[in-house]
Structure 1
Amino acid sequence: MSFDITATAKRAAAVKHQIAGITSAQRQALLLLIAQNLLDNVPQILAANQKDMANAEAAKISSAMLDRLKLDEHAIHNIAEAVKQIAFQPEFLGSISNMQPQASGIQVGKMRIPLGVVAMIYESRPNVTIDAAALCLKSGNAVILRGGKEAQHSNQALASILKQSLHEMSLSSDIVTVIPLADRDVMATMLTLSHTIDLVIPRGGEGLINYVTEHSRIPVIQHFKGVCHLFVDKAADINKALAILENGKTQRTGVCNALETLLVHTDVADEFLPKVAKMFESKRVVVHACEQSIGYFKAALQANEDDWHAEYLALEIAVRVVKNEEQAFEHIREYGSGHTEVIVTEDFSLAQRFVKEIDSSVVMVNASSRFSDGGELGLGAEIGISTSKLHAYGPMGAESLTTQKFVVFGDGTVRE
């Protein structure tokens, strides 16, 4: 199969004004139609996903990748619900803020506008196809989606629903394109199309993101790995800490907001780590422990430098005992990936310091890292979690896919 990405991008650029120019009510109606069409086509989506799952299992891909790939009826309902949440979010396109009169007599403000054409490159997770499309449509952007080969059948089934919905709203199907093959040459060409594509967002493994960053002539939003830390302070409620650790590490391992490193204040190590060891043993968590913590675990491995950098995406974790909060903060600054960091403490002043001094895209106090998700943070869904600060930082919802232009009002005003 051949695919002309250059022509596809040109067509997307040619029709981007359609999605940018429809009314708020029409945009909401389009998204609600997508949600309903998803629910009306559950059997077809599941049949396509089962083909992908069978191929993936035959290829012996990792359990983490299988977890990301799998869809069931509940998952499709959740995807549709996320689209509805996006649909009902307040309108922001066209809003003008900070309108201020100037001494010259003009009034100056800034209007929220779409970016134009957004390209999304991602792996395995078919829900991203709908999440990304819905967020781009809400923000008035055309979108080109390139999923991984593992989810090709699922993605094309979802693409047909997106195209159907656009057609039913009398909009061009070129507003949303799901590339029908995972060809590296197609992706390489796409990354050169700076005249028709305005932004590229890679979402997947570190290798994919490095490749896109190194080869793209288009601005890139980077979503690097999630090395998420939990710091249990000496003033922590131990029961809260254990529940947050269990949820963050074991609820779902193959996601970027799962915990990968546990830091424990030395003053509570004797009380906390035996409870951790018991829980980890029951969950079959592999532990990489520092010299001070290894004795608390029956079968821990000695942690090395690589473990502090590791994103395991598995029932595996690094554990370190720290002498104080300064050492914990220093560890996070050195090894954190800018994704999500958590502290458990009842010390309000220390919690405030953590929030202020830890420079990650999401910082949490006494809450599970699993909440670092666009849907949980009120965005409806996310197109990715940016770990670079330009032009967005953290989970990116619809408004993050816009920019602002200056608007000036005068009354025949000329510059003196």
Structure 2
Amino acid sequence: MASEVRQKATLAQNAANVMNKMTTAQKNTALAAMADALIENQASIIEANGKDLERGRENGTSPSLLDRLALNEARVADIAEGLRQVVELPDPVGELLEQFDRPNGLRVEKTRVPLGVIGMIYEARPNVTVDAVGLCLKTGNCVVLRGGSAAIESNRRIVEVLREALAATDLPQDAIQLIEDSDRASVNEMLKLNGLLDVVIPRGGAALIRNVVENATVPVIETGAGICHTFVDESADYDMAERIAFNAKVQRPSVCNSMETLLLHEAFAERHLSQITDRFVAANVELRGDKRTAERISQVKPATEQDYATEYNDYVLNIRIVANLDEALDHIRTFSTKHSECIVTENAAHAERFLMEVDAAAVYHNASTRFTDGFEFGFGAEIGISTQKLHARGPMGLPALTSTKFRVYGNGQIRG
């Protein structure tokens, strides 16, 4: 007997033959129905989420991870609104990208088409379940979801609600599949389902992403962990620098675009180190720093190389004083996960060097890294933030979930 993973991937593959024929109107009707269903069933979704939260607290899950897991009426409403925003976005499927005529009379068109069946492997954020479903269905794809065990009750109920909503639409219910087996073997099996899954997208911590990238035979779109830096240059305006750095760390530390290391030019640190660290201490941020920082600020613990290489997703921040822009760039090259990096400076030449030389999916001048997000970039909900360089990079909206097809029209041409 086939495993749960293979059975559900096969159902999704069969449904793909129906999904790729769906019109934009049919897909939008289904998305709107799913959004309504989430609101109508929010009480049962929150109840299921409560079981996950209770189990998480019993297992000692950190407050930041519990925050990522938690659902309430406002968050369910936001998730439903995300689906409605996807309805309003242009459908990329069928978009004509290029057309040209050949000397032999052939007319060639390049169009967008669905990828097929997308495997989503992710951790404890149930909103990702809905985002993934919405984006995949809008682009004519089917999706096989494998969320983390920490959110299994939430995900199970959410998928039940979404599939029930599809029953009253033209879209096949089997376009949405949830793998409920929480054993790691189910992930490893998904990674080898060539012929059933067309692509796998991992979304979560560094260990999860590394496992997928290293072991998959199915093509992977790699989303990256976020060891993000903010470099405050000598010429930076203090008020602006403090606002940006504080927002990048504290506004929501549990997400991948939050800042993990603050780099301070030594001249700026000479003037403002105590002032800027006081703001973080007041917000209960644990500070770790290089020798120069720790010697000057009593609340700063010595930082290790491992600290600089860690994505905390928590109220923990590294601080390092650097001599100049070159030293900041060297640090970022060493520890960056190529997600989001920021420079705060009034020096236009330094800003341009930073934007040109830093190898990351998003680079910022005088703005918080927290903006690396599909909604903030105007793409609507995102499937993840790609830190690779092939196919898609940065926040991945609808076009990133499509491939291309060449349609060739002739009138009897043969090749000699």
Report deviation, 1:260: 0.4
Shift of 1:410: 2.5
Aligned to 1:25: 25
> Aligned partners of 1:268, 1:341: CA distance in 2, in Å?
19
Alignment of 1:223 onto 2:223: yes
CA contact (8 A) 2:117 2:143 kept: yes
The equivalent of 1:235 in structure 2 is 235
Percentage of matched positions with identical amino acids: 40
**Which letter does structure 2 place at the counterpart of 1:385?**
I
2:30–2:171 Cα contact (<8 Å) kept? no
Q: Which residue of 1 aligns with 2:36?
A: 36
Q: How many residues align?
A: 415
Match in the other structure for 1:123: 123
2:22 touches 2:171 (CA, 8 Å); kept in 1? no
Q: Is the 8 A contact 2:4 2:179 kept in 1?
A: no
**Rounded Cα–Cα distance in structure 2 between residues aligned with 1:412 and 1:125:** 54
Partner of 1:139: 139
1:48–1:157: 8 Å Cα contact kept in structure 2?
A: yes
Question: Distance between the aligned counterparts of 2:303 and 2:188, measured in 1?
Answer: 38
Q: CA RMSD in A?
A: 1.5
Contact in 2 for aligned 1:142/1:175 (Cα 8 Å): yes
Q: Which residue of 2 aligns with 1:110?
A: 110
Paired residues of 1:104 and 1:415 also in contact (CA < 8 A): no
1:342 is matched with 342
Matches of 1:19 and 1:86, distance apart in 2: 17
Stretch of structure 1 that moved more, 222-231 or 136-145: 222-231
1:207 alignment partner in structure 2: 207
The CA distance in 1 between the partners of 2:292 and 2:83, in whole Å, is 47
Determine if contact 1:262/1:320 at 8 Å carries over to the other structure: yes
Amino acid at match of 1:401: L
Report the secondary structure of 1:225's partner residue: coil
What residue identity is the alignment partner of 1:392?
A
8 Å Cα contact 1:277/1:296 also seen in 2: no
Matched residue type, 1:20: N
Q: Kindly state the Cα deviation for residue 3 of structure 1 after the two structures are TM-superposed.
A: 5.4
What is the DSSP-based 3-state SS (H/G/I as helix, E as strand, rest coil) of the residue aligned with 2:367? coil
Look up the SS of the partner of 2:167 in the other structure: helix
Q: Any residues of structure 2 matched to 1:27-106 within 5 Å, and which?
A: 27-106=27-106
What are the residue-to-residue correspondences of 1:12-411 with 2, within 5 Å? 12-411=12-411
The code of the aligned residue for 2:359 comes to D
**What SS does the aligned partner of 1:367 have?**
coil
User: How far is the alpha carbon of 1:203 from its aligned partner?
Assistant: 1.3
Rounded Cα–Cα distance in structure 1 between residues aligned with 2:84 and 2:212: 31
For residue 117 of structure 1, report the CA deviation from its aligned partner. 0.3
- The one-letter amino acid paired with 1:325 is L
- Show CA shifts across 1:243-267 (max 9, x none): 1111111122211111001111122
Please state whether the residue corresponding to 1:99 is helix, strand or coil.
Answer: strand
Letter in 2 for 1:342: C
State the TM-score, normalized to the length of structure 2: 0.96
Q: Distance in 2 between matches of 1:175 and 1:266?
A: 55
Distance 1:234 1:174 in 2: 57
Aligned to 1:292, the other structure's residue is in SS state: helix
Q: Tell me by how many angstroms 1:187 deviates.
A: 2.2
Q: Distance in 2 between matches of 1:386 and 1:371?
A: 15
Query: How far is the alpha carbon of 1:146 from its aligned partner?
Result: 0.7
| Alpha-carbon distance in 1 for matches of 2:356, 2:277 | 31
Residues 152 and 181 of structure 1 are in contact (CA less than 8 Å); yes or no, is this contact kept in structure 2? no
1:65 Cα shift? 1.4
Between stretches 290-299 and 167-176, larger displacement belongs to 290-299
Task: Check conservation: 1:166, 1:172, Cα contact below 8 A.
Answer: yes
What's the TM-score, normalizing by structure 1?
A: 0.96
Does the 8 A contact of 1:120 with 1:143 survive in 2? yes
Q: Summarize the Cα distance change of 1:320–1:406 in structure 2 as closer, same or farther, 3 Å threshold.
A: same
Q: Aligned with 2:230: secondary structure?
A: strand
Which residue type is aligned with residue 402 of structure 2? T
Partner Cα separation in structure 1 for residue 409 and residue 142 of structure 2 = 29
Counterpart CA distance in 1 for 2:108 and 2:385 is 32
The residue that corresponds to 1:412 in the other structure is 412
Could you tell me how far 1:231 is from its partner in structure 2? 0.6
Query: 1:353, 1:137 → 2: CA distance?
Result: 41
Equivalent pair of 1:143/1:175 in contact (CA under 8 Å): yes
Deviations 1:224-276 (A, max 9, x none): 32100001112211111101111111122211111001111122112221221
Which residue identity lines up with residue 29 of structure 1 in the other structure?
T
| Partner Cα separation in structure 2 for residue 64 and residue 224 of structure 1 | 19
State how far apart, in whole Å, the 1-side matches of 2:188 and 2:408 are. Answer: 40
User: In 2, distance between residues paired with 1:178 and 1:8?
Assistant: 8
Aligned partners of 1:298 and 1:369: how far apart in 2? Answer: 28
The answer on whether the counterparts of 2:231 and 2:344 sit within 8 Å (CA) in structure 1 is: yes
Given that 2:27 and 2:171 are in contact with CA atoms closer than 8 Å, whether structure 1 keeps it comes out as: no
Which ranges in structure 1 are unaligned for 5 or more consecutive residues? none
The residue matched to 2:103 in structure 1 has which SS?
Answer: coil
Letter in 2 for 1:12: A
Distance in 1, Cα, partners of 2:333 & 2:162: 42
Distance 2:415 2:272 in 1: 69
